[in-house]
Amino acid sequence: MVPVSERTDLPHVVVVGGGFGGLAVVKALAKAPVRVTLVERRVYNTFQPLLYQVATGGLNPGDVTYWLRGLRLKQKNLRVLHEHLVGIDHDARAIRLANDEQVSFDYLVLANGVTVNFFDTPGAKENALGMYSRSQALRIRDQLFIRLERSAFTRDSDDGLRVVVVGGGATGVEVAGALAELRTAGLAPAYPEIHGDAFEITVVQRGAELLKSFHPSLREYAAKELGHRGVKLHLGAGVAEVRPDAVILTDGTRIRADLTVWSAGVGPHPEVDDWDVPRRNGGRIAVGADLQVEGRPGVFAIGDIAESPDWQPQLAQPAIQGGQQVARNILALLEGRATGSLQYHDKGTMAVIGRRAAIAEITLPVTSKKLRLTAGLAWLVWLFVHIMSLVGPRNRVTTLAGLVTRYGFPFHRRPIPIVGDVPTIRPSK
C-alpha cells in the first residue's frame, strides 16, 4: 500500500523550514486530508532560545535539537526532505532544490527564518561569531575552553579571555549572563592559574539602554544584575570594526576581544532575493493578514521571514501562532471557505540573566495587562516556559536536568560545565 505521504491524489503542502513556524504548520496538518513535505536543510530542528546554554557549557547540543524524521513516527502524512530551497517557479507551482530537483506544490509555506546580519561592519563576518546553529554554539564553546587552557598554561593575565558580546537585546544579555555564570561559579576553582581579571565580559550596545523592548524597571534590574556579576556594559556606541583581537567602537574606543559574539541583528537569507516574492522592512516577505504572500495565492510565509500589515516581532510565538493559522487557512481553501486573519496573542517576553535572576513581562488573559516579574520567580517562569516549548519528551527531561544542575540549589556551588573540545596534545615524536 502507498504510504499517505506519497499519495499523489492528495493535495500537496510543501513547508520550507523545520523551525518554530514550520513545525507548527506540519503538526497542525497531521490529520488533514493532505500530504505534507517538510524541506529542511538540516536534519534537525534547533531550539534557538537555548543555544547560548550550549555555547557556555550548560547544555548538550542534543538537548536543544530534535531529529526531524522522528516526527514521522507519529505523522504518517509527512515526508521529510533534507534539502535546501533555492528557487520558486510560481507559474509552474514548483520549487527548485539545491540538488536541482523540482517539487510541485498545491500550497507552499515559507518558514525559513532569518540569519545573522553584520550590517556590512568591516571585519565582522571574518572575526565575529553568530549564534544561529548548534555548530556555531559549539564553536563558541570550544573557543572558550581553548583560550582558558592557553591562559592557564602561560599564567599570563595578558593572555586571557576577553569576550565582547555585540548587542544588548535579550540574546546578548542572556549570552553575557551565562558567560558570567560560567566564570563566577564554575571556573574560578577549576583554573587557579588564571588571574581573575583575565576573563572579561563586555556587552556593547549602540543605544543608551539594554533590552529596549522591555519595561524600564526590568531594563534597570537586568543592568544591575549584570553589573553584580562583573559584566561590563559599554552603551551608546556602535561597532565600527571587528578585528581578530579587538572591537573598535564608533566613539573611538578599542575593546580587547579574544572572542566576539555577534547578537546585534538579523536579516533574510540571501537566496530569498531569487524567490520572486514582495518584500517589506528589513527584507521580510510581505504577507497579507491571512499570511498569504501578496500577489501569490496559495503561497504563505510565516515567522521571522514574514511581515504582515499587523507587524509582529521576530520571536517564537508569532512563528508558532502563524503556523497554526496557516494550517487553518489551507483547510479553509481546500473546503472553499474564506481564509482568516492571524489574531496574534502576545503572551509576553522574558530573558534570563543567571541563577535566580531573570525578567519576565507576561500578558494577563482578558485584561491584557502586563505582569512584570524579576529575580527567582521570573527565573522559574522562564524555566517552565522553555522546558514546555522544547520538542520531544527526551529533550525536556535532559534540558531540565542540565538547567537545574547549572542553576539549582545545591548544585550551583560547583556546576561543572560541559567541557568544549580543546585539541589533543600529541608528542612530536
Ligand X SMILES: Cc1cc2nc3c(=O)[nH]c(=O)nc-3n(C[C@H](O)[C@H](O)[C@H](O)COP(=O)(O)OP(=O)(O)OC[C@H]3O[C@@H](n4cnc5c(N)ncnc54)[C@H](O)[C@@H]3O)c2cc1C
By CB under 6 A, name the binding residues for ligand X.
16-22, 39-42, 46, 48-49, 51-52, 84-85, 111-113, 131-132, 170-171, 269, 271, 303-305, 314-317, 319
Instruction: Please tell me the distance from the alpha carbon of residue 230 to that of residue 52, in angstroms, as a whole number.
Output: 18
Nearer to ligand X, 17 or 61 (CB): 17
Reduced 3-state DSSP string for the chain: CCCHHHCCCCCEEEEECCCHHHHHHHHHCCCCCCEEEEEECCCEEECHHHHHHHHCCCCCHHHHEEEHHHHHHCCCCEEEEECCEEEEECCCCEEEECCCCEEECCEEEECCCCEECCCCCCCHHHHEECCCCHHHHHHHHHHHHHHHHHHHHHCCCCCCEEEEEECCCHHHHHHHHHHHHHHHHHHHHHCCCCCHHHEEEEEEECCCCCCCCCCHHHHHHHHHHHHHCCCEEEECCCEEEEECCEEEECCCCEEECCEEEECCCEECCHHHHHCCCCECHHHCEEECCCCEECCCCCEEECHHHEECCCCCCCCHHHHHHHHHHHHHHHHHHHCCCCCCCCCCCCCEEEEEEECCEEEEEEECCCCCCEEEEEHHHHHHHHHHHHHHHCCCHHHHHHHHHHHHHHHCCCHHHCCCCCCCCCCCCCCCC
Nearer to ligand X, 58 or 160 (CB): 58
Q: Supply the minimum distance, in Å, between the C-beta of residue 175 and ligand X.
A: 8
Instruction: Please tell me the distance from the alpha carbon of residue 61 to that of residue 131, in angstroms, as a whole number.
Output: 13
Instruction: Please tell me the distance from the alpha carbon of residue 364 to that of residue 339, in angstroms, as a whole number.
Output: 28
Q: Supply the minimum distance, in Å, between the C-beta of residue 15 and ligand X.
A: 10
Q: Supply the minimum distance, in Å, between the C-beta of residue 278 and ligand X.
A: 18
- CB under 8 Å to 344, separation ≥6 — which residues? 310, 312, 317, 318, 321
Residue matched to cell numbers 502576545:
346
Q: Supply the minimum distance, in Å, between the C-beta of residue 85 and ligand X.
A: 4
Nearer to ligand X, 103 or 131 (CB): 131
Crossing angle of helices 216-228/170-181, nearest 10°?
Answer: 30
Q: Supply the minimum distance, in Å, between the C-beta of residue 165 and ligand X.
A: 11
Q: Supply the minimum distance, in Å, between the C-beta of residue 303 and ligand X.
A: 2
Instruction: Please tell me the distance from the alpha carbon of residue 53 to that of residue 59, in angstroms, as a whole number.
Output: 5
Closest residue by beta carbon to ligand X: 19
Beta bridge partners of 285: 279, 306
Nearer to ligand X, 101 or 197 (CB): 101
Q: Supply the minimum distance, in Å, between the C-beta of residue 110 and ligand X.
A: 9
Instruction: Please tell me the distance from the alpha carbon of residue 171 to that of residue 228, in angstroms, as a whole number.
Output: 19
Nearer to ligand X, 123 or 303 (CB): 303
Q: Supply the minimum distance, in Å, between the C-beta of residue 87 and ligand X.
A: 10
Nearer to ligand X, 314 or 363 (CB): 314
Q: Supply the minimum distance, in Å, between the C-beta of residue 95 and ligand X.
A: 9
Q: Supply the minimum distance, in Å, between the C-beta of residue 394 and ligand X.
A: 19
Q: Supply the minimum distance, in Å, between the C-beta of residue 119 and ligand X.
A: 16
Nearer to ligand X, 115 or 154 (CB): 115
Nearer to ligand X, 87 or 298 (CB): 87
Nearer to ligand X, 218 or 305 (CB): 305
Nearer to ligand X, 389 or 398 (CB): 389
Instruction: Please tell me the distance from the alpha carbon of residue 54 to that of residue 68, in angstroms, as a whole number.
Output: 20
Nearer to ligand X, 51 or 248 (CB): 51
